[in-house]
Structure 1
Amino acid sequence: EYDSQSSVNTSLQSWISWFCTLPGNEFYVEVPEEFIEDDFNLTGLSSVVPYYNEALEMILDIETEEKDSQQGQEDPDEEKDLTIEPYAAMLYGLIHQRYLLTRHGQRIMAQRFAEEQFGTCPRVFCDNCPVIPCGRYDQVGKESVRLYCPSCMDLYHSPNDIHVGVDGAHFGTTYAHLMFQAFSELIPIDHTRIYEPRIFGFRINERSPSGPRMQWLRMRP
């Protein structure tokens, strides 16, 4: 009885919910179907994503609904699904990048940032400041997701190797910094502490090969 109930719950789960619960995809938010169904929000993506229409149908569960109506007539084309699935993930990621720029998307990520759902900065002087996922590029396939710290204003790799497969373009270069503009109260007040290397208590000169470099950049107000 439990197995049958579990299979029913799985069949009722939307593709978006399924994708966001996959191991390593916890950084994503669930984009509302209303946002995806608005053609304006998808402008230009059809020329970027192969099998665009099929991928969009998979994201919106349209194909699944058609198969359910034809249940008993023929088995689903699993091979086709396996072909389309990577492009559905690619399309959803690019839609996700745009959704994070909306007011609602910003609010969701601000709340998750405040709750430290993405982890904290590994830098000692940042005092466990929360980090937020972002990308260095807006084009897919260039680099995996990075974690941005608003205290030291630097980028870090995720400590979990499972996030290596998450494309940084699915978050993009803009939303995180736009979010801190809208929610400036989330920015740490004190972010000027910098480690000073010393030998027997004396600071190392900047001209030394082992001396500090460009500290003035982080000392700016």
Structure 2
Amino acid sequence: MEDDQYTSDSGSELSEYWIDTFLGIKGHEYFCDIDIEYITDKFNLTGLNEQVERISQVIDYIIDETDVSQLTDELREIYDSNARVLYGLVHARFILTPRGLQRMMEKYKKADFGYCARVHCQLQHLLPVGLSDICGVCSVKLYCPRCEDLYNPKSSRHAMIDGAFFGTSFPAMFFQQYPHLQPSHPTERYVPKMFGFKIHEYAKLARWQEQQRRSLQKRLADRGLETINTANGYVYPEDDDDEGDEEMEEQS
């Protein structure tokens, strides 16, 4: 990457057009608008040249320093694809800054990221989060600060967004900045009942034991071992004891 700091007129019609077009794509509602000055500051791009090819040209493409009319359709497609990746990676860094957190807070209040599907969370607003800071590892997930669990986006358009474009630290940083927005944990829990009566604890224990038995059977079957002797709810491999006895006899 060149050492020169990139500069551009933030009022450029094409730069606004590209960013507005990117943000206007269906499924990109999770993204916020990044300041042009932030994108053009080389300090904020540290290390990204290893993840985005032709980063100098891509930045020029985003900020309207490229004569698009001189590009072939193939090259323009390459620039546009790289520009989307670069914008996403810079976005993950921008939303950890005060200005970025402010813009994401406005989107959070408007529930742009959706609501928690859990009934007892009472339509709690969600936040986007990545499970990795590396592109291509996992798609974006949604974090509920009330039940503190993760959910997949309902829309397939949102599910295609890379989680690295939001990073693994965003929700924690968000509530560090805005602790007053941290909701209280739900106190209600769903209790399974039959005809209005709670299920007996012994029934839960029996279901758990059956689940453990089937799990053990599967593990033994995966290893090619037959399963017999199901006394007391446990399953033992048929030949393990015999093999152990033979080894003891040989050693003696």
Q: Same fold (TM over 0.5)?
A: yes
**What does residue 171 of structure 1 align with?**
166
Deviations 1:33-79 (A, max 9, x none): 1001111111110112122222222222211xx34xxx7xxx54222
Q: Which amino acid aligns with 2:180?
A: E
Matched position secondary structure for 1:155: strand
- Is contact 1:97–1:170 with CA below 8 Å preserved after alignment? yes
**Structure 1: gaps spanning 5 or more residues:** 1-9, 212-221
Tell me which moved more, 117-126 or 75-84. 75-84
Q: Which amino acid aligns with 2:81?
A: P
- Is contact 1:14–1:61 with CA below 8 Å preserved after alignment? no
Q: CA deviation at 1:191?
A: 2.1
- Is contact 2:15–2:63 with CA below 8 Å preserved after alignment? no
The percentage of aligned residue pairs carrying the same residue is: 33
**What does residue 44 of structure 1 align with?**
47
- Give the counterpart of 1:60 among 63, 83, 93: 63
Q: CA deviation at 1:210?
A: 6.0
Q: How does 1:55-134 map to 2 (within 5 A)?
A: 55-63=58-66, 66-67=67-68, 76-134=71-129
Structure 2 residue 149 is matched with structure 1 residue 154:
yes
Cα distance in 2 for partners of 1:173, 1:12 equals: 28
**What does residue 31 of structure 1 align with?**
34
Structure 2 residue 35 is matched with structure 1 residue 19:
no
Identify the structure with bigger relative contact order (alpha carbons < 8 Å, sequence gap 6+): 1
| Cα pair distance change 1:207/1:176, threshold 3 Å | same
**What does residue 139 of structure 2 align with?**
144
- Is contact 1:204–1:210 with CA below 8 Å preserved after alignment? no
- Is contact 2:29–2:112 with CA below 8 Å preserved after alignment? no
Q: Which amino acid aligns with 1:21?
A: G
Deviations 1:96-135 (A, max 9, x none): 0000000111111112112212211010000000111111
- Is contact 1:197–1:204 with CA below 8 Å preserved after alignment? no
| Cα pair distance change 1:197/1:208, threshold 3 Å | farther
Cα distance in 1 for partners of 2:199, 2:176 equals: 36
Deviations 1:139-194 (A, max 9, x none): 11111111111011111111111112211110011011111122111122242322
Cα distance in 2 for partners of 1:12, 1:137 equals: 29
Cα distance in 1 for partners of 2:194, 2:126 equals: 32
Matched position secondary structure for 2:153: coil
- Is contact 1:135–1:172 with CA below 8 Å preserved after alignment? yes
Cα distance in 2 for partners of 1:42, 1:19 equals: 19
Structure 2 residue 204 is matched with structure 1 residue 209:
no
| Cα pair distance change 1:107/1:13, threshold 3 Å | closer
- Is contact 1:114–1:130 with CA below 8 Å preserved after alignment? yes
Cα distance in 2 for partners of 1:108, 1:49 equals: 25
Matched position secondary structure for 1:147: strand
- Is contact 2:128–2:166 with CA below 8 Å preserved after alignment? yes
Of structures 1 and 2, the larger Rg is shown by: 2
Q: Which amino acid aligns with 2:198?
A: F
Q: Which amino acid aligns with 1:26?
A: E
| Cα pair distance change 1:207/1:60, threshold 3 Å | farther
Tell me which moved more, 102-111 or 188-197. 188-197
Q: Which amino acid aligns with 1:145?
A: V
Q: How does 1:1-12 map to 2 (within 5 A)?
A: none
